[in-house]
Amino acid sequence: MTTPRYTPLAASLPATVPFVGPETQERARGAAFRARLGANESVFGPSPLAVAAMQAAAADVWMYGDPENHDLRNALAEAERVAPENVIVGEGIDGLLGYVVRLTVGPGDSVVTSDGAYPTFNYHVAGFGGALHKVPYRDDREDPQALLDKAAETGAKLIYLANPDNPMGTWHDGTVIERMIADLPDGCLLVLDEAYAHFLPSEAMPRIAADDPRVIRFRTFSKAYGMAGARVGYGIAAPGLISAFDKVRNHFGMCRISQAGALAALNDPDYMASVVAQVGWARERIAAIATANGLTPLPSATNFVTIDCGADGDFARAVLRELLARDIFVRMPFVAPQDRCIRVSAGTGADLDLLAEILPQALEAARAKS
Amino acid sequence: MTTPRYTPLAASLPATVPFVGPETQERARGAAFRARLGANESVFGPSPLAVAAMQAAAADVWMYGDPENHDLRNALAEAERVAPENVIVGEGIDGLLGYVVRLTVGPGDSVVTSDGAYPTFNYHVAGFGGALHKVPYRDDREDPQALLDKAAETGAKLIYLANPDNPMGTWHDGTVIERMIADLPDGCLLVLDEAYAHFLPSEAMPRIAADDPRVIRFRTFSKAYGMAGARVGYGIAAPGLISAFDKVRNHFGMCRISQAGALAALNDPDYMASVVAQVGWARERIAAIATANGLTPLPSATNFVTIDCGADGDFARAVLRELLARDIFVRMPFVAPQDRCIRVSAGTGADLDLLAEILPQALEAARAKS
């Protein structure tokens, strides 16, 4: 008998990585990127208050973090105008998605998402043996009605929807999301990934009762708060679902420094507003650079712009390769026809000056090889 | 139909917390503890180099951490004299224990541990539906032969053993562990928790080939490195098992600041040696305080001392309560007859001065009420 004896499910899984990190690419290239615009990180960084709080917390890191995340949870509840019992804090949205899938999805259970949507969600569903059903995007946006229809057809336990969407940057008005929740098949939970919601115009935000048992919303300090490396995400849902996380979560999993940083970031709304403004400016600049090069920027309510390269996936992949070869880290959608695009995160002025300089060269090289 | 629809396993689990954190207790008391000696944290703190590295990394936290933990993994491999392919880095030993259980344990699968050993391991086994079999301690130490016998009897996939042990502080010589591995039932993996191994005399360390498929060793930056709040643990095992973690782990789960801190801590062996020396001094002081109060300190190769209060569990619980009421945070073993003890983590001189002052009062109060 070989040791260890894996479960049949674990034995069947690939040893995979949902995303190859930029550091991995840099090691393979043997050179650092000059502009890091591929992971939708916030180049504008965290609030100075958050940096100071994390620096102050460093010497205290001999203590475990509070496993209840009490202070952060209460501050989030106040900021989101819900009760603390509606809030779960965890190790990024990635970690929380894993927990919600683990709580609900067993071998063969049906789950619905969009083809080309967040791979890490798919990774979790596969990791617990779920049967993942995908529907195509419609007009480069997630298609709520198709998701609902597929969920009804397959008896899905979960629907995943990101609004605004990653990797396309597009979004639906809040009323569309509200109607989608009203139309959910009986027993189906909407996993609403709002990682980019801080960039959504406030009038487009759906109004969802925190105690609605049909939906869980996920938000994060990784995007607008500029703290991707701190691994702080949170969920908003009915108290029953929130308390169920205590059945499976890594109770002492939160970094104490990250807890302190997130709390401080939350107390600096002016900084957040300034980041949202800078991101808006960067989006316009990226769109202008794309247009100047004959490409088509898609509308975006996120901290990135997805750019239609005007041909097929092979061409966009060639553009991506040429940008990477010229030290600009970007990514692109995985699935046709969205893979005709590349995805560029909001950068600093210097980052985007470099993009403006390099993109024509990358396009020329890609065209020469196609 | 209610929403969400939990898996039968998830529906059956309690919403539990393996440990109530000291902050939770402080909130319930309405007062802070004056000495934090209950969670085996390192009051001596992290290396100044680690603190500086974490402070320097704070402003860079807008970037995700490297999901491969490349630099830390390679540095650990060098320090432990194994290959990088033998090393997995994760969100504390707690997180890594969860992954190894998930990879191997399905509903009804047998797992063996000691009654009174680490509750978080048991939490993970229950969380994946495993059947946990417990054997008693023998002479306040884990009993390797009893663990082996129970594993053979139940066809266990995993045996959990902490060496040195928590909560007792006792340990087995390396040759005992080596013999135990040789005698493992076919197909049984030894989960060897070496969280406290940095405090073990080097001659007592077992010699285990890193490529041995029958064992995985877990170590941590939470104890001797003084970085419990950073959540950095690592495992050493055969490459096949190490790569299997990539099937289930939260690839982007590591805090970037923690990665930087752990790497710096690893590069400061002098500081580590000074902590081990201070812990040795603190253990002697705790033992002397216990003896002066008519109690019996157990031998320890950890950063805590377990103290036999000389009566039953009710009395030790009363002593614990009286210490807590006097602002000293300590814990105690959960299971008889080890629950006749309290467990005191290595403290600073000031912490232990306070213990010396308060312990007689706590004992007197406990005796008056019994």
Exposed, middle or buried, A368 (CB in 10 Å: 0-12/13-18/19+)?
Answer: exposed
A151 membership: H or E segment, kind and range:
helix A144-154
Torsion angles phi and psi, residue A228, rounded to 5: -55, -40
Q: Give the pLDDT score at A363.
A: 98
| Residues B257 and B299 reside in one and the same domain | no
**Does a structural domain hold residue B357?**
yes
Q: Does B269 touch chain A (CB under 8 A)?
A: no
B29 touches A: beta carbon within 8 Å: no
H or E segment and range at residue B234: strand B233-236
pLDDT grade for B41, boundaries at 50, 70 and 90:
very high
d(CA A87, CA A156): 24
Q: How far apart are CA A342 and CA A325, in angstroms?
A: 15
pLDDT value of position B317: 98
Q: Which domain holds residue B324?
A: 8-45+270-369
A171 and A317 part of one domain: no
Instruction: Check CB contact under 8 Å for A4 and B157.
Output: yes
Q: How far is B79 from chain A (nearest CA, A)?
A: 22
The predicted-structure confidence for A154-169, as pLDDT tens digits, reads as follows 999 999 999 999 999 9
Specify whether the CB–CB gap between B342 and B306 falls below 8 A.
Answer: yes
The span from the CA of A195 to the CA of A160, in Å, is: 13
Residue of chain A whose Cα is closest to the Cα of B7: A104
Question: How far is residue B74's CA from residue B81's CA, in Å, rounded to a whole number?
Answer: 10
Domain membership of residue A56 (yes or no) is no
Q: Please, what is the angle between helix B48-58 and helix B256-266, to 10°?
A: 150
How much is the pLDDT for B15? Answer: 84
pLDDT of residue A16: 78
**Is the previous residue joined to A164 through a cis bond, with omega within 30 degrees of 0?**
yes
> Tens of pLDDT along B295-329?
999 999 999 999 999 999 999 999 999 999 999 99
CB of B2 within 8 Å of a chain A CB? The answer is yes
| 3 state DSSP class of B205 | coil
Q: Which uninterrupted H or E stretch holds B236?
A: strand B233-236
My answer on whether B249 and B300 are in the same domain is no
Give the tens place of pLDDT for each residue, A166-178.
999 999 999 999 9
Query: Is residue A331 a part of any domain in this protein?
Result: yes
Query: What one-character DSSP code corresponds to residue A41?
Result: -
* Contacts for A364 with CB less than 8 Å, ≥ 6 apart: none
Burial profile A163-183: b = 16 or more Cβ within 10 angstroms, e = fewer:
bbbbbbbbbbebebbeebbee
In a domain, A3, yes or no: no
Measured between beta carbons, which residues in chain A are less than 8 angstroms from residue B108?
A: none
Q: How confident is the model at residue B118 (pLDDT cuts 50, 70, 90)?
A: very high
* Per-residue model confidence (pLDDT) at position B341: 98
Which CATH number do you get for residue A109?
3.40.640.10
Residue B169 phi, psi dihedral angles, 5° rounding: 85, -10
Domain end, chosen from A245, A268, A291, is at A268
Sort out which chain A residues have CB atoms less than 8 A from B68's CB and list them: 21, 23-24
Query: Both B94 and B187 in a single domain?
Result: yes
Amino acid symbol at A297: P
pLDDT at A15: 84
For the cut 90, the answer to whether the pLDDT of residue B213 exceeds it is: yes
CA nearest neighbour of A156 among B3, B106, B129: B3
A138 shares a domain with A225: yes
- How many CB atoms are closer than 10 A to CB A283? 23
Domain boundary among A234, A268, A302: A268
* Residue that wins the pLDDT comparison between B17 and B31: B31
ipTM of the complex: 0.97
Residue of B306, B283, B318, B310 lying closest to B294 (CA atoms): B310
Shared-domain flag, residues B162 and B16: no
Give me the percent of chain B exceeding a pLDDT of 90: 97
pLDDT at A370 over 90: no
Number of domains in chain A: 2
Please tell me the predicted confidence (pLDDT) of residue B17: 75
Residue carrying the six token digits 């919600």: A100
- Using the Cβ of A229 and the Cβ atoms of chain B, whether some distance falls under 8 Å is answered with yes
| B167, pLDDT greater than 80 | yes
Q: What is the mean pLDDT of residues A64-84?
A: 97
> Is the per-residue pLDDT at A18 higher than 80?
no
A101 lies in the same domain as A227: yes
Contacts of A300 (CB under 8 A, 6+ apart): A164, A169, A170, A283, A306
- For B228-254, how does the pLDDT look when each residue is reduced to its tens digit (9 = 90+)? 999 999 999 999 999 999 999 999 999
Q: How confident is the model at residue B121 (pLDDT cuts 50, 70, 90)?
A: very high
B54 occurs within a structural domain: no
Type of residue at B132: L
Contact B64 A39 (CB under 8 A): yes
pLDDT at residue A20 above 90? no
Same-domain pairing of A152 and A86: yes
CB pairs under 8 A between A and B: 296
Residue B334 belongs to a domain: yes
Residue indicated by tokens 């377990």: B306
The average pLDDT across B180-207 equals 97
Last residue of a domain, one of B248, B268, B288: B268
Amino acid identity at B216: I
Distance CA B151, CA B187 (A): 10
Q: Stretch B177-190: mean pLDDT, rounded?
A: 98
| pLDDT range class, residue B140, cuts 50, 70, 90 | very high
For residues A262 and A279, membership in a common domain is answered with no
The Cα A108–Cα A130 span in angstroms is 5
Residues 65-94 (B) with a CB less than 8 A from some CB of A = 65-68, 70, 91-92, 94
The CATH number that applies at residue A306 is 3.90.1150.10
Q: What 3-state DSSP class applies to A308?
A: strand
Average pLDDT, integer, range B142-153: 98
Nearest Cα residue in chain B from A128: B248
Estimate the crossing angle of helix B70-80 against helix A22-29, to 10 degrees.
70
Buried b (16+ CB within 10 A) or exposed e, A189-203: bbbbbbbbbbbbeee
- Do residues B129 and B211 share a domain? yes
Tell me, yes or no, whether B1 lies in a domain.
no
**CA–CA separation, A191 vs A196, rounded Å?**
14
Same structural domain, B146 and B195? yes
Query: B68 and B82: one domain?
Result: yes
Alpha carbons B86 and B263: distance in angstroms, whole number = 17
- The average confidence (pLDDT) of chain A is 97
Average pLDDT over residues B55-82: 97
Q: Does B237 touch chain A (CB under 8 A)?
A: no
Taking 3-state DSSP, the helix, strand and coil percentages for chain B, each rounded to the nearest 5, stand at 45, 15, 40
Looking at chain B, the whole-number percentage of residues with pLDDT higher than 70 is 100
Distance CA A217, CA A137 (A): 21
pLDDT at position A66, please?
A: 96
Backbone angles phi, psi at B36, to 5 degrees: -105, 90
Global confidence as pTM: 0.97
d(CA A68, CA B271): 32
Please indicate, yes or no, if residue A228 is contained in any of the structural domains: yes
Element counts in chain B: helices (H) and strands (E): 13, 12
Query: Residue B349 burial by CB count (10 A; 0-12/13-18/19+): exposed, middle or buried?
Result: exposed
Which of A42, A88, A247 to mutate to test binding with chain B, by most B CBs within 10 Å of its CB?
Answer: A247
Please determine, for residue B68, whether its predicted confidence score (pLDDT) is greater than 90: yes
How far is Cα B210 from Cα B236, in angstroms, rounded to an integer? Answer: 7
